[in-house]
Amino acid sequence: MEFQTSGSRRQFLSTAAKTAGATIMLHPRLGWAADATEPQVADIVAKTLGIDTHNHIDVPLIAEEMPGPDIDLNGEMKRSGLAAICMTFATDYQPGDAYDRFLKGLASMDRQLERNSMKRSLSADDVRTAHKNSQPTVIQAIEGGHFLQGHIERVEEAYGRGLRHFGLLHDSDASVPLGDVYTNPPRYGGLTSFGAAVIKECNRLGILIDLAHANIQTTEAALKITTRPVIVSHTGLDTQLGSDPRMAQMMRPRLISKEQARIVANAGGLVGVWTHLADTPLDYAKNVRALVDLIGVDHVCIGTDTKLTQPSPRPMGRGPGGPGSGGSGPGGSGSVGPPPGGPGPGQQRPRVGERTNEAWQDQSTGFYYVVVDAMLKTGFTADEIGKIGGGNFLRVFGEAVKK
């Protein structure tokens, strides 16, 4: 079935030098290496399932770049303390056919998962089992329905390949659009008919719908269509602008209003807080607190929009959200660092905040350890951290993918 419409549209343990003198502890439950940290923090990390609901893993999307460099996904996840990530990639902006890029991206991820002795989790129980077995896991995600190109049957094909988290939109419009992107001028009146059909098909199959990048009109329309809870995986409140006016101006269109956050929460969904516009872990925890105070602790999760593994090269001048970036902001799919050995001619150096385990300046402890520590210092209880850290996502994910 085809719809036609008009319109188009950061090396593993790279901070080792900083932590060479640090005491390394092994938590008996996890068996995972972590930098020395407070026992309460280590205990919470061990007992909860930290899940990053939006993490970009750069892999080749075109034949000339395959198979690409090996990545230490397993090692970086163990360092981070995260139990799972929603491993995503985007197919817009790169040259060539989006459907072909999608298939090659999945094949590249298949290879990396195999060499890391990891598997995709297809259900909430899969995530819990992997954590019980001290095995990091991933949930396959896509950011943007560009690969569909109007073919609804490709949703089921993607499901068969392990896709369980579908971000309808990204920075550019798909060739057959699904809805209005929040950083672009509105032109479709919100959700398109094809976008509605994709949501219904995801509901039927059991795929989590992600409304990140959707404007409020698209969000409202999608919530009228879906029969299962949704997520906005990576954003922040537009009241939390950080300390850098330049960054605030750039990122402001990618933040959501209190109204939009409430709409999602009232429908039983989740909003993920990204690490952008937070200069320190405490700033990040305060951004999480602002959202919890607005929509409740049961409707907030973590969605960093960063990269656990080494990013791919990015030409200079193709920054966040710009043509060729493929990214969704500072951590987006094309918002990447230099190749091994440093940046080549005309390439940018990696930015602080680009890598998950280097989300903040001078960070020497894995991501989830740092975040748990900051949340405790901000007044969150262990139970609340468990919900925000991953419990809420598992609840919604389980509802979305159940048969």
* DSSP element (H, E) containing 105: helix 98-115
Q: How far apart are CA 17 and CA 24, in angstroms?
A: 14
Amino acid at 358: E
User: Which distant-in-sequence residues (6+ apart) come within 8 Å of 197 by Cβ?
Assistant: 3, 152
DSSP H stretches of helix in 215-339: 216-225, 245-251, 258-266, 281-295
Per-residue tens of pLDDT for the chain, all 403 residues: 433 333 332 332 233 223 322 322 333 333 333 445 789 999 999 999 999 999 999 999 999 999 999 999 999 999 999 999 999 999 997 777 999 999 999 999 999 999 999 999 999 999 999 999 999 999 999 999 999 999 999 999 999 999 999 999 999 999 999 999 999 999 999 999 999 999 999 999 999 999 999 999 999 999 999 999 999 999 999 999 999 999 999 999 999 999 999 999 999 999 999 999 999 999 999 999 999 999 999 999 999 999 999 988 754 333 333 323 334 444 444 333 333 333 333 444 557 899 999 999 999 899 999 999 999 999 999 999 999 999 999 999 999 999 8
Phi, psi of 138 (to 5 degrees): -130, 150
Q: How far apart are CA 396 and CA 269, in angstroms?
A: 7
Query: Parallel, antiparallel, or unpaired: how do β-strands 137-143 and 163-167 relate?
Result: parallel
Q: How far apart are CA 25 and CA 34, in angstroms?
A: 6
